[in-house]
A and B are shown apart, each in its own frame.
Chain A
C-alpha cells in the first residue's frame, strides 16, 4: 500500500486505469466482433456469425501480394535498421567525441519530423537522383523512421554491459573486433531481437511514407487504405486486420518474454554489476 495515496485517490486511479484500458482496447474488440458478423455493413445489428470474410480474403490475390510486399519491406527495414543501430549505439554509449549531444539529436530527429514531410522529401530526392520507386525505396524511408527506435532500444542494454568486460577482453589478448564478436555482441543479442521486432512492426503498419515511396506495388496498409473506398470489401479487410493483429501480438509477446528471460539470466551472472543495475531499475527485477 502506498502511503502517499489516500483511499479516494486510489479509487480515482483505479477508474482512470480502466477508462484507459477500455479506450485503448474497445476499438480492437469491436473490430474482432465485426470480423465475424454476417453482414456487409459494418454496424449493428448483429446478423449472425460467419467466417466467410476470412475465406474471402484468402482468395484475394491483390491483398496477398500486398501482404508479401509488406513482409519484404519490413524485413529489409528491420535488418538494415538493426545493423545500423549497432555501431550507432556503441558510438553513443562507449565513445566520447565532439558535439555528441548534437550527433545524437541528429540521429534521433526522425522521431519528431512529420511523416508527410519525410515522405515528400524522400520522394523528391529519389526523383532527383533518378531512383525508380519500389519496395526498396519504401524500405529506405522506413529505415529512416525505424532507426531511432532501434537505437533507443539498444542504448539502455549497452549501458548495462560494464565497459570493464570489454577492457578485460582486450587485456586478455582480444583485438577490438574479437572483443565485439565474443563479448559485446552475445550480451547485446536480447536488445538486437527487440530492435529487429520494433523496426519490423514500425515498417509493417506504416502508411504515409509507404504510400509516397512504394510505387505501384502497394504495401499492406496502402492496400487496406485504398480498399476503404469500396464498402463491400470492408468486412474482409477487417478480417485481415484481425489476423495481422493476432499474429503480431503473439510475436511481440513471445519475443519480449524470451528477451526478459535471457536478460534476467545474463544479469544474474553479471554479479556485482547486475546488482547495482538491478536496484537502479527498481520494479522490473
Chain B
C-alpha cells in the first residue's frame, strides 16, 4: 500500500534522514489585531513524537492548522519533507489530522470512514480492504467494519479516527487534543495506545495539548508555547527539570521559585545566601552571574527533602521554615512551608508512616541537591 499515493515530496527526501518531516520557518499568523503565532520556527524530525504544549490561545492549534492547510500563514514558510506547502490546499498536503471530537462521518460505517482517503486516491478495492484490515489490527478494532460511529464508545471512535488518518501513510499525523473528550481512565489507556501505535508505525506525530502530564508521558520532545512563541523546546526531562523560562516552569508543573541575590560563584555553582543558615546553591551552566545580581531560582516540589528540625545540606540548598499546612493526597503528602526565602514552598513526599509525623506548625528544614535548582531568570523582571 505504498506506491506513489502522495502529493508532496516523498521519494528522494524520504531517503534523506536529515530532511525534517515538517519545517516551520518564521511563521506568523494574525487574526485581526491578535497575533496568534509570532515568527515561529521549528523543525520536526522524521519519526518523532513532538508535543505542542501550552494554554488555550497560545497558538498551538493555529500552528497545527497551518500545517494541515486550514489556515494560511501571514508570513513565513512551512515545508513538508523539504517542499514548501504554503498556498497548497489541505487535500493536497500529505499530512493527516485527528480532530478533537473525532469528526467521524456519521452516515458511513467504520470501513467506509477508514477507506475514505484511499477511495479518493483511487486505490483499488482489494488494496483498500487490505489496508483497512491492517489498520484495524493496529488499532485493535477487528470485526467492527460494519459498525456506525454512533454505535461505538468514545475510545473506539478515537481509534477509528486514528485508523482513518494513518491508513493514508501521512508524512506526519497531527493530533488536536485527541483525548480531551475521554474520561481520565480511558485517557491514560489511550496515551499508552498512541505511544504504542507510534512506535509500531514510526510515523511522525505532532500532538497538541494543554495537559502537561500527557505531554510529559508521551513525547520525544515538547515545545512549550505561550503567546504565539515557543518558550522552550526540549525533551520532557529537560522541559520539566530545567525549564527555560518562568512560564515554562510554572506551566509544566507546580514550582517553587524565589528571587535571590547571588553572593558568590564557586566554579560551576552559584551560591545565593539568605542568612548564615539558609542558602540556595544552583548550577551556573556557563551563565555569567556577577555577585549581587538577582536570580529567579526554582526547584520542583518532589525534589525537596523535608526534615523536622535542623538538617545538613551536604553542599546543596538548605532552607529553614515553618509548616503552614499538610495536605494528604494519597500516595503523596503535600507540605506547604513558609520559608526563610520569603516564599511558601510546596514539598511532595511519598506518604509513609513517617511523613505524617510532621505537622502544621513544626519547624522544618528543606534540603535539595545542587543540580535540582534551576535558574529561570537572571536580573529583575523587566
The interface centre, meaning the residue of B96, B104, B154, B181 with most chain A CB atoms within 10 A of its CB, is B104
Say yes or no: A268-B150 contact (C-beta < 8 A), given A168-B103, A172-B164.
Answer: yes
Task: Give per-residue flags for A165-182: 1 if the beta carbon is below 8 A from chain B beta carbons, else 0.
Answer: 101111111110010001
Establish whether residues A165 and B89, one from each chain, have CB atoms under 8 Å apart when the complex forms: no
Q: List, in ascending order, chain B residues with CB within 8 A of A175's CB.
A: 89, 91
- By beta carbon, the residue of chain B nearest A175 is B91
Task: Give per-residue flags for A186-230: 1 if the beta carbon is below 8 A from chain B beta carbons, else 0.
Answer: 110000000000000000000000000000000000000000000
Complex alpha-carbon distance, A24 and B71, angstroms: 53
Q: List, in ascending order, chain B residues with CB within 8 A of A182's CB.
A: 116
Q: List, in ascending order, chain A residues with CB within 8 A of B91's CB.
A: 170-175
- By beta carbon, the residue of chain A nearest B5 is A173
**Which residues 68-123 of B sit at the A interface, judged by CB distance below 8 A?**
68-70, 89-91, 96-97, 99-107, 116-117, 120-121
B157 at the interface (CB under 8 A from A): yes
Q: List, in ascending order, chain B residues with CB within 8 A of A134's CB.
A: none
Complex alpha-carbon distance, A267 and B149, angstroms: 10
Establish whether residues A173 and B121, one from each chain, have CB atoms under 8 Å apart when the complex forms: yes
- By beta carbon, the residue of chain A nearest B90 is A170
Q: List, in ascending order, chain B residues with CB within 8 A of A165's CB.
A: 103, 105-106
Establish whether residues A171 and B106, one from each chain, have CB atoms under 8 Å apart when the complex forms: no
Establish whether residues B102 and A271, one from each chain, have CB atoms under 8 Å apart when the complex forms: yes
Min C-beta distance of B170 to chain A, whole Å? 9
Q: List, in ascending order, chain B residues with CB within 8 A of A174's CB.
A: 91, 116, 120
Complex alpha-carbon distance, A169 and B68, angstroms: 12
A51 at the interface (CB under 8 A from B): no
Q: List, in ascending order, chain B residues with CB within 8 A of A39's CB.
A: none
Min C-beta distance of B8 to chain A, whole Å? 12
Q: List, in ascending order, chain B residues with CB within 8 A of A183's CB.
A: 105
Complex alpha-carbon distance, A9 and B91, angstroms: 59
- Apart from the given pairs A271-B102, A273-B101, 7 other A-B contacts in the complex at a CB distance below 8 Å: A164-B100, A169-B105, A170-B69, A172-B117, A172-B165, A272-B102, A272-B154
Interface, chain B (partner A; CB < 8 A) = 68-70, 89-91, 96-97, 99-107, 116-117, 120-121, 148-152, 154, 157, 164-165, 168, 181
22 CB < 8 A contacts A-B: A162-B103, A164-B103, A168-B105, A170-B70, A170-B90, A171-B69, A171-B90, A171-B91, A171-B165, A172-B116, A172-B120, A172-B168, A173-B91, A174-B116, A187-B106, A267-B106, A268-B150, A269-B107, A270-B149, A271-B101, A271-B157, A272-B154
